[in-house]
């Protein structure tokens, strides 16, 4: 029995930090692109303009079918050969991860948008909202609330898949660990530290998404509080309520002599 030697982890803390920073950069850039582009592709997929719908559906199905590792290779070697453009391994990694997760997240958005009850569309239409107005004001805000948990899942997946970019030489967390192992011959300690770092990232992501879910929930709050109203807005509404009470009393007093200009009570 040999003993664990955790000092290799702490002695190389700066190396881990470099890897962590690169993983975070890679994931963050890709996550932002995929979250935005995913919505665009989802809208294309649901477009009444058929060629756009087919194009989006084709993109989603093809990209989802390609293993992430292969997609990274394709982007790094394939596109540079086909188009004669050279990009860094980091850029290739961002493109591949963004493409892959755009496809997944597009389907997440679509399911969220389609989960908004038809009655919401009807209510918006009956109030003379146009298609775009109804989507932006009524449908999308509800769809975004629905997709918060699955979006969080996908971003956790994205962070883990970012490790595949190590194959084309981006020295992120996993590649870093491989290099450290080859120097120290301490795979267990090194990879355990790596896992702890990934765990830290994913825990932060889940905490953020749990908070978002709670913050924007439309369910009946159990504590009777109104978490979503800004303080200024709440103050404005309470002020309006008080003014209603005041004018109501006024009208009541005046009702014998003059006709009230405000709407009669129902």
Residues at the site binding another protein, with contacts judged by CB under 8 A? 117, 119-120, 122-123, 125-130, 133, 137-138, 141-142, 145, 216, 218-221, 224, 226, 228-229, 234, 236-238, 240-241, 243-245, 248, 262-266
Least Å distance between CB 242 and another protein? 10
CB of 223 to another protein, least distance (A): 11
Q: Among residues 84 and 264, whose Cβ is nearest to another protein?
A: 264
- What is the smallest separation between the CB atom of 141 and another protein, expressed in angstroms? 5
Nearest to 202 by CA among 156, 163, 166: 156
Q: How far is the CB of 188 from another protein (least distance, A)?
A: 49
Alpha carbons 109 and 114: distance in angstroms, whole number: 8
User: Do 42 and 60 contact (CB within 8 A), yes or no?
Assistant: no
CA dist 251 and 89 (Å) reads 73
Helix axes 187-215, 173-184, angle to 10 degrees: 160
Q: How far apart are CA 208 and CA 205, in angstroms?
A: 5
Q: How far is the CB of 212 from another protein (least distance, A)?
A: 13
Helix then strand count (H, E) for the chain reads: 12, 0
Pick 85 or 261: Cβ nearer another protein:
261
Q: Give the residue with the Cβ less far from another protein, 84 or 117.
A: 117
């Amino acid at each position: 029995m040999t003993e664990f030697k955790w000092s290799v982890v702490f002695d190389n803390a700066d190396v881990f930090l470099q890897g962590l920073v690169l993983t975070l950069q890679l994931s963050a850039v890709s996550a932002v692109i995929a979250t935005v582009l995913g919505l665009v592709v989802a809208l294309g997929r649901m477009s009444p303009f058929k060629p756009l719908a087919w194009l989006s559906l084709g993109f989603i199905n093809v990209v989802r079918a390609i293993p992430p590792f292969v997609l990274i290779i394709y982007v790094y070697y394939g596109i540079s050969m086909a188009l004669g453009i050279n990009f860094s391994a980091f850029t290739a990694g961002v493109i591949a991860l963004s493409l892959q997760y755009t496809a997944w997240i597009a389907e997440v958005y679509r399911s969220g948008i389609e989960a908004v009850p038809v009655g919401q569309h009807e209510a918006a239409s009956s109030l003379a909202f146009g298609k775009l107005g109804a989507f932006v004001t009524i449908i999308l805000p509800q769809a975004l609330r629905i997709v918060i948990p699955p979006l969080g899942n996908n971003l956790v997946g994205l962070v883990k898949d970012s490790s595949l970019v190590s194959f084309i030489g981006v020295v992120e967390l996993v590649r870093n660990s491989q290099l450290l192992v080859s120097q120290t011959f301490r795979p267990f300690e090194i990879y355990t530290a790596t896992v702890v770092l990934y765990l830290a990232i994913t825990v932060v992501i889940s905490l953020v998404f749990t908070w978002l879910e709670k913050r924007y929930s439309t369910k009946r709050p159990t504590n009777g509080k109104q978490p979503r109203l800004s303080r200024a807005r709440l103050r404005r509404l309470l002020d309006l309520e008080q003014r209603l009470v005041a004018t109501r009393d006024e009208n009541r007093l005046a009702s014998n002599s003059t006709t009230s200009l405000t709407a009669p009570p129902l």
